[in-house]
Amino acid sequence: MPQHEAGAGRYAPSPSGDLHLGNLRTALLAWLFARSSGRRFLMRIEDLDRARDAGSGEHQLTDLTLLGIDWDGDAVLQSDRAADHEAAIARLADAGLVYECTCTRRDILAAPSAPHAPPGAYPGTCRDRSDAEREEARRAIAPRLPALRLRVPEGSGEREFTDLVLGRARGEIDDFVLRRGDGTVAYNLAVVVDDAAMRVDQVVRGDDLASSTPRQILLQRLLGLPSPPAVEYAHVPLVLGPGGARLAKRDGAVTLSDLAADGIDAEAARAILARSLGLAAPGELVTLTQMLDRFDPALLPREPWTWPPASVGAYPRRA
């Protein structure tokens, strides 16, 4: 299959713990989308948020390898890219598009919101403060530092995009955070800068992140980076636990280690995930090559998948 001229797909987990079946299913889909389109497939460990970093990045890569997922080049650590993140913020600041914010989450939820604004949208409390007011606000929160927010240009409060799975999608854009008060660069900024640097032009991830995409497209355009249609998005359905909420570790045997302890090895786990995507028959053990041969994005399930499936007993268990 010829290499796609434009770039690559990627998977970018946070090292906050072992990957569960929902994460692994999304990783498989990202690999399938990339490889089926002739793109390179890249890996990035998104380790910026030290409060959530459980040091599990290497184990996550091991689990992905056990499923048969491969990638091109070495995995990239997002924390190694701090200089590029700060350069992007500086470029936005030079354009007058950054301001300090001293609001807490409680302040934002308690403030009156604009008509038709979604719950939790930033109400603009700190947007138009004078220099004196900003200095007073800094003193009031010391030693905590202000966050930095994007001053969203007039007329950019909503943006539509075309998604390979969702079709036409849209989202509201408020003045979102670029860098937190603790110095951590925000997800929306880092992911845009890193994807552009890695020449990623296909982003496959869970559909819970679809609402963030309009913000990222706006940042791409403000920073002069590739954006749709040069970059395509596919937001895929999540995996739900038995209670109907998004799958979590509290739902029992949901990681490869958990499943192995229950006698279900990586080969069987891959087959179960393949079945959930319509790429295998119940009980059929398949390779990634077979999954790739059968993969058609147009035929992917559009609804969430619930764990455990009724067919889980059809797969062999190891002693």
Is 233 annotated among the ligand-binding residues?
no
315 annotated among ligand-binding-site residues: no
Query: What is the sign, positive or negative, of the torsion defined by CA atoms of 148, 15, 301, 30?
Result: positive
Q: Which amino acid is at 204?
A: V
Residue 73: which of 82, 81, 61, 84 has the closest Cα? 61
Q: Output the six-digit token pair for 175.
A: 């003045």
| Phi-psi region at 164: left, alpha or beta (left = phi > 0; alpha = psi -120 to 50) | alpha
298 marked among binding-site residues: no
Residues 6+ apart with CB under 8 A from 130: none
Q: Is 122 annotated as a binding residue?
A: yes
301 is in an annotated binding site: no
CB 47, CB 77: distance < 8 Å: yes
Residue 20 DSSP class: B
Do the annotations mark residue 101 as ligand-binding? yes
Sheet with 147-150, side-by-side order of all strands? 98-101, 147-150, 177-179
Which residue type, as a one-letter code, is found at position 88? Answer: A
> Is 144 annotated as a binding-site member?
no
CA–CA gap between residue 202 and residue 33 (Å, rounded): 8
Structural contact between residues 98 and 90, judged by C-beta atoms closer than 8 angstroms? no
99 annotated as belonging to a binding site for a ligand: no
CA-based max dimension of the chain: 70
Q: Is residue 249 marked as binding?
A: yes
Query: Position 184: which residue type?
Result: T
- Please, which residues have CB within 8 angstroms of residue 147's CB and are 6 or more apart in sequence? 100, 101, 102, 103, 177, 178, 179, 180, 181
Residue set of the binding site: 10-14, 46, 101, 103, 122, 126, 187, 205, 249
Residue set of the binding site for Zn(2+): 101, 103, 122, 126
Residue set of the binding site for L-glutamate: 10-14, 46, 187, 205
Residue set of the binding site for ATP: 249
